[in-house]
Chains A and B, each alone.
Chain A
Amino acid sequence: MRCTRIEKLLSDKIDGVLSRRKEKKLESHLLCCQKCRSYLEDLEKLSQVAGELEVGKVEDNYWQSFTSRIKQKVISFRTERRKQTSYSGLRWAWIGASLVFIFLLSISLLHFRPERNREFYAFSYEDTLQLLYQDAGENINLGDLIENAILDSIEHLIFYPEESSLPGMSGLINPWDEFTVEEINLILSGGKKNES
């Protein structure tokens, strides 16, 4: 075995990690190699001196204060982490609640939008209502006024459907479908009930 390989084995021997088989080979080599024996002696000396190297000037109270300082740091760390955790939790709770609120609001706006029926538009015929409100200030017979306004609105809707299309109404309507024969006769007669 070459001396360069033996040097590696010598290092392992010092650390006690050499297998029995390799140790036997090493021993037989050392018996006949002065150079490697000298190398082993040098390594042993180095290990001995290295083992004598120590850290100096560290007082005993340094270690006590070291433990205390770590303990104090850990306490601060725990407090800080708790704060961060609670702040973080609160923040996420707020964000979550806001998102849920926005989501529910959107849903309610989309699905629970009040439906506008055709009668509403008929009754809210702007000009007629304005007149109605003006008259209402002087005329106490509101029942007749309202009835006439309604009938005017419906009549206008029937005969001038293209003018009666209001926002929210899709296309023109066929109001005749919505009324009974009696109601149509009533409308055509100008709101005067057939007393016969």
Chain B
Amino acid sequence: MNTKNCMDGYGDEDLVSLTKEGNLNAFTELVRRYQKKVYKTIFHLTRNHHDSDDLAQETFMKAYASIKKFRQKSSFYTWLYRIAVNLTLNFLKKRSRDKKVESFSKVWAWRGEGESALFSPEEYSAGKELRERLKEALDSLPLIYKTSFILVNLQGMSHAQAAEVLRCSEKTVSWRIHKARKMLRERLKSFI
């Protein structure tokens, strides 16, 4: 039976309820829906494929183990992100980041090679340089600013969603992002 086909029509809430009743296919569908988003968020924070893979798996396993406690006051997506972000932040606090960082060129890529045709070679080269510097600058941000920036700017969350994930107020998220942008601008001034 194709899990994707038989569960496609269900909403997240239905899938969560089915998972609580012991339906494994329902949970597999939730994994399929959010694995990329969760992985990418973790990757933006760790910049290491193996760590991201481990943490993403841990996120889903933790979600499964505690899904009966999930009261569905927030969306499954927000709840799952909260687990992922907490696990990743704890992981990053425990480990020395420098040891885990892989070479930027190995793990970061630009969104599609085809898009380079939209820019002139000079623009492409300048854009590439800026992206490389942005990765470094992002990495140098305090973790709390970086996380807020990634959730909103890279994952496309609203301030309200990010606030729910980070368990803080929207104003705090707004302030952190402002500070992150200001720091990034200062560090990348000569490349912008």
Contact = CB atoms under 8 A, between A and B. Distances in A.
Contact of A50 (B28, B154, B175): B154
Q: Shortest 3 CB-CB distances between A and B: which pairs?
A: A56-B109, A11-B178, A54-B111
A146 B64 CA distance: 83
Contacts of B188: 46
B84 to A, nearest CB: 13
Contact of B40 (A45, A55, A71, A74): A55
Q: Is the interface of A mostly helix, strand, loop or mixed?
A: helix
A14 B177 CA distance: 11
Interface of A: 7-8, 11-12, 14-15, 17, 39, 42-43, 45-47, 49-58, 63, 66-67, 69-71, 73-75, 77-78
A53 to B, nearest CB: 6
26 contacts: A7-B178, A11-B174, A11-B178, A11-B182, A43-B185, A45-B192, A46-B188, A46-B192, A49-B127, A49-B131, A52-B110, A52-B131, A53-B111, A54-B40, A56-B107, A57-B109, A63-B32, A66-B57, A67-B31, A67-B32, A69-B57, A70-B35, A70-B61, A74-B28, A74-B61, A77-B61
Majority secondary structure of chain B interface residues (helix, strand, loop or mixed): helix
A115 to B, nearest CB: 57
Contacts of B158: 15, 17
Contacts of B40: 54-55
B177 A11 contact: yes
A83 to B, nearest CB: 15
Interface string B43-69: 110000100010011001100110000
Given A51-B154, A54-B109, A75 B24 contact: yes
Interface of B: 24, 27-28, 31-32, 35-36, 39-40, 43-44, 49, 53, 56-57, 60-61, 64-65, 106-111, 127, 130-131, 134-135, 138, 149, 152-154, 158-159, 170, 174-175, 177-178, 181-182, 184-185, 188-189, 192
A55 B46 CA distance: 11
B153 A51 contact: yes
Given A8-B175, A70-B28, A53 B154 contact: yes
Given A43-B185, A46-B192, A73-B61, A15 B177 contact: yes
Nearest to B150: A50
Given A49-B130, A50-B153, A55-B40, A70 B57 contact: yes
